[in-house]
Amino acid sequence: MKYGKINISTGLIILSLFMVYGFLLIYLRDFAPGKVEWVANSDNGDHFEAKLAHVHGNLFALLNIILGYLLMNLNIREKAKKWISILLLVAFLMPLGIVAELLLGVPPVLVLIGAIAAVTGVAWFGIELLKKE
């Protein structure tokens, strides 16, 4: 399998899921019973975390789509392509971890793993491109 293809397809699927999640947030803000209370509390606590998950889920989905395309089309070392691809996929643990915290009370370890993977994958890709002639 060409590295990057899985990032693009996963990115598109995750993007669609976090888009639906965003529509849920819009419903809660504008149409749901108790919308006034929801808006009043939207800048802190669980409401703020819900917005963070939405934003980071979409951001990491777009990063996987764009960087997956670049992985498929730029000539860098195969071993680096493999691990960068994996790290970019592991990055989805950040927004999914935020959702897991909200809904299931899971400790934030998934968020940290995802954040570290995202930064490492993006930085590694940049370094690989700098080494390319």
> Which residues, 6 or more positions from 64, have their beta carbon under 8 angstroms from its beta carbon?
7, 8, 10, 11, 14, 88, 89, 91, 92
Instruction: Give pLDDT tens digits along the chain (133 positions).
Output: 689 999 999 999 999 999 999 999 999 889 999 888 888 877 878 888 889 899 999 999 999 999 999 999 999 999 999 999 999 999 999 999 999 999 999 999 999 999 999 999 999 999 999 998 7
Q: Which two tokens stand for residue 59?
A: 């951001």
- Could you state, in order of their start, the residue ranges of all structural domains in the chain? 5-131
pTM: 0.92
Sign of CA dihedral 53, 67, 80, 86: positive
DSSP 74: S
Collapse the DSSP code of 32 into the 3-class scheme (helix H, G, I; strand E, B; otherwise coil) and give the result.
coil
Note the pLDDT of residue 2. Answer: 83
The whole-angstrom separation of Cα 74 and Cα 44 is: 42
